[in-house]
Amino acid sequence: MSNKENGVIALAGLTAIGVIALDQITKVLARNAATGSGGDELLGGLIKIVDVRNSGVAFGQLSGGGIIVPTVVALALIALLWYFLKHLGTPLIWLATGLVIGGAVGNIIDRVRAGAVSDFIKLPHWPAFNLADAAITVGVIALVVLVELDARRQRRSGTADAN
């Protein structure tokens, strides 16, 4: 592997570590700050800090799914890592990958520690979520955009991805 490829992998790892750290810190702070069942309001009630446990995946889907949840998460992470390692030359792929992996690991830590994910950000008409969920969402959107931009770049230059 080249130094550039090693650098891309290192950037993804550092991003993931940063997301994990921020996620775990914010979850502890939110659990300690959340008071009452209605939650603490911020920004004139636009955002509430709540203390919700989520045993499912995105927005509570597959709640109570037993082995299905860790299986889905594991398969998604394996697919992402495979794609990442095959496309290290894609600009900013490290950022999208680091965000998704960091968010997934942050939520896995909760599942192992407490059996459910700690969600604490509540917007009107939206399920509660956490920083890890936000990182995963932004990372997936960024990954889709990066993949499309890279495909367009390759079509313009006349090169096809041999991977």
**Residue 114 is encoded by which pair of tokens?**
């407490």
Annotated active-site residue 119? The verdict is yes
- Which residue's structure tokens are 């090169």? 159
Would 124 be classed as within a structural domain?
yes
The pLDDT of residue 65 is: 59
Helices (H) and strands (E) in the chain, counts: 4, 3
Would 55 be classed as within a structural domain?
yes
Would 162 be classed as within a structural domain?
no
Options 40, 110, 119, 161, the catalytic residue: 119
Q: State how far the alpha carbon of 50 is from the alpha carbons of 94, 109, 143, in Å.
A: 32, 19, 30
Total structural domains within the chain: 1
Q: What angle (nearest 5°) sits at the alpha carbon of residue 85, between those of residues 142 and 6?
A: 100
Would 144 be classed as within a structural domain?
yes
The pLDDT of residue 67 is: 72
Would 111 be classed as within a structural domain?
yes
pLDDT digits (tens, 9 = 90+) for 115-163: 889 999 999 988 899 999 999 999 999 999 999 998 888 888 876 555 5
Options 23, 133, 150, 161, the catalytic residue: 133
Q: Is the pLDDT of residue 6 over 70?
A: yes
Annotated active-site residue 23? The verdict is no
Would 148 be classed as within a structural domain?
yes
Would 163 be classed as within a structural domain?
no
Rounded CA gap, 107 and 54, in Å? 10
pLDDT digits (tens, 9 = 90+) for 8-34: 999 999 999 999 999 999 999 988 876
- Which residue's structure tokens are 């991977």? 163
Residue 150: give the domain boundaries: 3-157
Global pTM value: 0.84
Beta carbons of 117 and 129 less than 8 angstroms apart: no
Please give the biggest Cα pair distance in the chain: 60
pLDDT digits (tens, 9 = 90+) for 57-92: 655 555 565 677 778 888 999 999 999 999 999 999
Would 90 be classed as within a structural domain?
yes
